[in-house]
Amino acid sequence: MRPATPRRATAFGRHLQQWRRQRGLSQLELALRADVSQRHISFLETGRARPREAVVHKVAEALAIPLRERNMLLAAAGLAPGYPEVPLSDGAVAPFRHAIQRMLAAHEPYPAYVVNRWWEVVDANAAGRRLFPQAGAGPITAVNAFLGPGPLRESIDNFPEVAWTFLRRLRSEVASAGPDERLRALLERAETYMQGVPPGDAGDADLGAELAVCPRLKIGDQVIRTVSMVARFGGAREVTLDELRVELVFPGDAEAEAFFRRSAQVAHDALG
């Protein structure tokens, strides 16, 4: 008898194995999370079993794969995309676009920015544009504006702490996103900008007392303390919404509160 020719892993099998290893799971652990047999996971990775759509969705959910990459996984299995991708301007996402716009307006007089997967600032409220004039004037990459040489970087009093926190967040996003050359190029650029910047915890005796690392902005002879948060659509089933986030800036103390309110009043008086 002739020995059986070993099957070569399919594109889907290679992608699945890459995601499983990236998440640090064994075949058994993935099988338990996805509620399929370990043998079936093995057969999918080696190409001995053809992936069915329901199984692809189950393993993608178990691996916490972002929607854009889930579509790629479905395509590798020879299946149609399962998640639409439409522009934010499309009528189908109007309720969500309006929710974002209401959030931006309601957050006044404090800055708020809408950021996409590749850290492009795609929108901002009036306070955000006052603090960061380039925001909202067309896509601008926050990595370049924030970490690259320029007035924004120079205005951050605690730049090393904030920048290293930013870089760790970007590295985590790249690791979670899977193969995305555009995102990886962004990370490489960010790491280039960070060359020579001392570790964020070096020489700061007060750092351990901070509950979260947030920017302190040098505005004239003032240092404005801020608190930052991120909002996003947790149950998104569409790629654009899944990747959008709203970066919200709040005052960190009474002086910052007065600064933001005074800035809004000055802008209002100038228009009036």
Q: Which of 207, 245, 206, 208 is nearest to 228 (CA)?
A: 245
Tens place of pLDDT for every residue, the chain, 272 residues? 444 445 567 999 999 999 999 999 999 999 999 999 999 999 999 999 999 999 999 999 999 999 999 999 999 999 999 999 999 899 999 999 999 999 999 999 999 999 999 999 999 999 999 988 665 555 688 899 889 988 889 999 999 999 999 999 999 999 888 789 999 999 999 999 999 998 865 445 454 456 788 999 999 889 999 999 999 998 899 999 999 999 999 999 999 999 999 999 998 888 86
Is-cis flag, bond preceding 109, omega within 30? Answer: yes
Backbone angles phi, psi at 158, to 5 degrees: -110, 50
pLDDT at residue 258 in the model:
96
CA separation for the pair 65, 72 (Å, rounded): 10
Three-state DSSP class for residue 266: helix
Q: Where in the chain is the domain with CATH 1.10.260.40?
A: 11-76
In CATH, the number for domain 11-76 is 1.10.260.40
CA quadruple 64, 66, 67, 71: dihedral sign: negative
Question: What ranges in the chain are assigned the alpha helix state H?
Answer: 11-22, 27-34, 38-46, 53-62, 67-76, 94-106, 126-131, 142-147, 151-155, 159-177, 181-193, 239-243, 254-271
Angle between helices 27-34 and 38-46 (to 10 degrees): 110
Q: Give every CB contact of residue 3 below 8 A, 6+ residues apart in sequence.
A: none
Residue limits of CATH 3.30.450 in the chain: 91-271
Calpha distance 36→52 (Å, rounded): 12
**174 CB-contact burial (10 Å; exposed 0-12 / middle 13-18 / buried 19+):** middle
The pLDDT, as a whole number, for residue 138 is 57
Question: pLDDT (tens digit, 9 = 90+) per residue, 228-246?
Answer: 999 999 889 999 999 999 9
d(CA 252, CA 53): 48
Element counts in the chain: helices (H) and strands (E): 13, 6
- CA 267, 268, 272 angle in degrees (round to 5)? 120
SS3 of residue 200 by DSSP: coil
Confirm if 109 and 264 have CB atoms less than 8 A apart: yes
Q: What CATH code is assigned to 91-271?
A: 3.30.450
Quote the pTM value. Answer: 0.86
In this structure, the dihedral spanned by the alpha carbons of residues 87, 90, 121 and 225, taken in order and rounded to 10 degrees, is -130
Predicted confidence at residue 179, as pLDDT, reads 82
